[in-house]
Structure 1
Amino acid sequence: MERSALVDTISLLTTLDQNYLPQLQVLLTSLSLNNPGESICLYLLHSGIPEQRLAAVYRQCQALGYAAVPLRVDDGLFAHAPTTRQYPKEMYYRLLAPLLLPDQVRRVLYLDPDTLVINPIRPLWERELNGNLFGAAAHTGKTELANSVNQLRLGTERDYYNSGVLLMDLEAGRREIRPQALFRYVEEHRKELLLPDQDMLNALYSQRILPLEDVLWNYDARNYSSYLLRSGGICNLQWVMEHTAILHFCGKAKPWKSKYAHRFGILYRHYIQLTKRAWDIDL
């Protein structure tokens, strides 16, 4: 995409169920405080969150000057999709976003709701994808062994990319991504899948991914020591607070739960307090 064709409004996408709505509100708080004056349109793909549960998100977006576009996904698209309790239909949503979002949306930045935005994201939004479908980061450091295991498991030669932050060329995706390809892959490999949506991304599209710097755009909040060591001491806490844009709280342990032990948990708790204070909600 030519730089001149990029629109001013940053289109964000998230997919979630109602249990993650509080975390979405914390993410929006962090986004607004660290990206003042940005024009944001939030697209929320879901399978049936009640309107009353979405009301708090609407109010927050309205107060921040953001557009909010919730889109309930038609179950008919998944009539022949392999789904189970372990593999719900929602796992397909982010990769099928080109087909689920309005045609006039040309690119979108997908964020998992368990992320914080702590610096400007416009440099990522304006990144040229150079003909790729996605921009994504592979987590470095402690996960390099897992990288090799995942390459062997999925039969790929490139790094194993994390699907929690994706810059997506929707126009290219509409030409190339087919639901049946995703459904067929899950049907043929369901016994091998560990993180189904992430495995599909890597197995089917790893050759169409522009690598992003994880330390800037998808920082694994568990791995501070690894980032520090690999950078020769450069990526310390001060560096992260000044340069990293997106912190991602990967894994089962989450910073809004008790006994979270990793370094950036206290920062997340700070944004919880800011969100509670501003919007009078229970988190």
Structure 2
Amino acid sequence: MNIVVSSNENYIKPLKVMLLSLFKYNRGCNIFLLYSDITCKSLNKLENIIQLNNGTFNPILVNKNLFEKFPDIGRISKEAYYRLLVTELLPQNVNRALYLDTDILIRGNLQDLYNINLDGNLIAAVIDKTCDNENEVHLERIRLYRPCHYVNSGVLLFDLSSMRENINVNDIFKIITEKKFNICRSRCFKSIF
């Protein structure tokens, strides 16, 4: 199983916890860490955790200057944008990957989720059920209007082969830097729950 995470030095502790919970039920994963600001000491600690659990560690240094023109997203770090480059950053022979945020706990085996049929969709995501009618103010704040669903971007299953065929990373950069995106208009997602 190919697992992608992105982090900086500030999220190393939650990342360790997430990895330990992942490996409790899912040993032997390939971990791809997208980062730009993590010390060698922290990278070594992460590698030890991963190797002790029969996993492989693939740290991938990202040029953080690529994202300097991206909008500031407040309490969320710039590393949140790194998942947008998975098709470019991961090796070409990696065809499927599960992206997991550092601040989640894994409470079971992820194999069924990882192997879900994407039915031709590029990405599978979980609809965030907390964004219902009671949260209209939140939905308006993030410019998400009915009828559409807000997805939790902390758990994403990528069909990297199809993404490489259908998505131009330069287009993503242009859309985000020009702030011309509508987060509601995407036909490439499959809801997995």
TM over 0.5: yes
**In the superposition, relative to structure 1, how do residues 207 and 54 fare at CA in structure 2: closer, same or farther (>3 Å)?**
same
Q: What stretches of structure 1 of length at least 5 have no aligned partner?
A: 1-9, 191-198, 214-283
**Following the alignment from structure 1 to structure 2, what is the Cα–Cα distance between the partners of residues 34 and 88?**
28
**Cα distance, 1:83–1:58 mapped onto 2, change above 3 Å:** same
Secondary structure at the residue paired with 2:124? strand
Write out aligned runs for 1:45-194 (5 A).
45-75=34-64, 78=66, 81-82=69-70, 84=72, 86=74, 89-140=78-129, 142-145=130-133, 146=135, 149=139, 153-154=143-144, 157-189=147-179
Aligned counterpart, 2:189: 209
Q: Does 1:21 align with 2:12?
A: yes
Q: 1:211 to 1:68 in 2, by over 3 A?
A: same
Say which structure, 1 or 2, has more relative contact order (CA 8 Å, 6+ apart).
2
Whether the 8 Å contact between 1:45 and 1:70 is mirrored in structure 2 is yes
Structure with larger Rg: 1
Identify the structure with the greater helix proportion.
1
Instruction: Provide structure 2 residue ranges, at least 5 long, that are not aligned to the other structure.
Output: none
Calculate percent identity across the aligned residue pairs: 29
CA RMSD of aligned residues (A): 2.8
Using structure 2 for the length normalisation, give the TM-score. 0.85
Q: Count the aligned residue pairs.
A: 190
TM-score by length of 1: 0.60
